[in-house]
Each structure stands twice: as C-alpha cells, then as structure tokens.
Amino acid sequence: MGSFDGLLLLDKPKGMTSHDVVLGVRRLVPRGLKVGHTGTLDPMATGLLVLVLGRATKSASHYQKLPKVYRGRVRFGQASDSGDLDGRVTREGPVPAFEAEGLRQAMSSFIGELEMPPPMYSAVKYKGKPLYDYARKGIEVPLKNRSCRVFEWELLDWTTPELGFRLRCSHGTYARSLAVHLGERLGTPALLSELRRESIGEFEIAGAITLDALSRLSQADVSGRLLQPAAAPA
C-alpha cells in the first residue's frame, strides 16, 4: 500500500453524520483519494469511526463485521419517532420507581441472539434508498428483522429517569432499538439519550483523533496516523 492506504481512527463529534466526517477527511488528503467508513454513527452519537483510505477501502466489509462496545444512557418516560433525542417526541408517560436489580434483570433478557427490526431513522436500505429517506417523508415501509447478538448489557448507574449502560454487541445491533424495547418490557416509554462508541474490534477510542485536530496536521502527518493492522485481509 502507498502512504495513504490504510485505516484512520476518528473520534466523531456530536451533531455530525458519519458522511460529514468522511467529507471532512477527503479535504485533508490527496485529491481523488477514496475515503469510506466502516459503520455509521447517528448524528447524536459520538466516538469511534474507523475510516478506510485508498486501497484499504476494499477491506471495509471486514471491519464492518467486528464487534463493538458502547457507553450510553436510556431515558424513560419519553418516546420519539427516531428512538433518540434527535427525534420528535411521540409519547410521554410516568416512570415507575424501578430498582436497580429489576433493571439489570430486564437488560439481561436481551443478552444473546436477537431478531430485531432496524429503526426507521437508519441507513438500512429499502429498494435502494435508506430508511431515513422514507421516514422523513412520512412513508411507511415494511421492516425486515435483522439478526444481531448482545454479548453484554451492563447497568452502570440509575437515577430516575435515566440509566447509564455499557453495551458489547455484534454488527447490526441498534442501541436505539434496545432502549425502546427495554421501555416496552418495563411498561414505560423510552429512548436513547446518549451514545458513545468506545471500540470496534481491536480498535479503541483512545487511539482516535478528532476531525478538528486532524485538520491542523500536514498531509504527511495525516499519512503517519494511518494504521496497517496485521489482521487486515489482503
């Protein structure tokens, strides 16, 4: 591979789409260089994006399939059309006086293999278009269940109306969907109020750089940050 063929670990800020980050990186590398990402983060979410540059874009599917670790928060008492705080609130309700142990038991019921539909506000495609295109136009389309696996879903803290969690899961798991389904299981509306991706496979957020910091580097220094992990397929 050449000097701009490899992986770049980015710490995505809140409010940007993953595509926005890709466009930002394209402005910092040689003109015409291919840049892609290996798994989206919603605009509300922050944290690790593994970008593929140059010939490494051919390996994107390998990195998309790696397990992921998140930290986040679920808010009870509200539901939205997107399943998170970026959406329009569609329902509100009282929050029962949950005990931490009851929350842990409910969360543990989602551990294992799951079949869940993707959120309507997601990049999953239907007839060639992402679901969020249909959702923004108010068009309903059939949602096909997707297989995923939750390895761990740990309660970190609980103060009404929000709980903090750590989630380790497979590719294709939507934290928003888990938040919504957890509320349904507990009999109260719920949404995802915060999410940060901490790792993707072997890659950790500690090794990532922000787009703002990257923009202050020379092209040579940007090239110097690219990774060539031994696990990458040929």
Q: Which of 11, 42, 84, 86 is catalytic?
A: 42
78 burial class (0-12, 13-18, 19+ CB within 10 angstroms)?
A: buried
pLDDT at 233: 46
- Does residue 22 contact residue 51 with C-beta atoms inside 8 Å? yes
Report the candidate in 211, 203, 204 with the shortest Cα–Cα distance to residue 232.
203
Report the alpha-carbon distance of residue 86 to residue 81 in Å, rounded. Answer: 9
Would you call 42 a catalytic residue per the annotation?
yes
Sequence letter at residue 146:
R
Q: Residue 157: how many CB atoms within 10 A of its CB?
A: 10
pLDDT tens digits in sequence order for the chain, 234 residues long: 347 999 999 999 999 999 999 999 999 999 999 999 988 899 999 999 999 999 999 888 889 899 999 999 999 999 998 899 988 899 999 999 999 999 999 999 999 999 877 665 656 565 666 656 655 666 676 667 778 999 999 999 999 999 999 999 999 899 999 999 999 999 999 999 999 999 999 999 999 999 999 999 999 999 999 998 544 444
Map out the domains of the chain as residue ranges: 6-65+203-224, 68-199
CA distance 90 to 191: 11
Residue keyed to tokens 């959702």: 135
Domain 68-199 in this protein, CATH class: alpha beta
Q: Give the tens place of pLDDT for each residue, 40-63.
A: 899 999 999 999 999 999 888 889
Instruction: Using a pLDDT cut of 70, give the percent of the chain over it.
Output: 85
Same CATH topology for 6-65+203-224 and 68-199: the answer is yes
The answer as to CATH 1.10.540.10 being correct for domain 6-65+203-224 is no
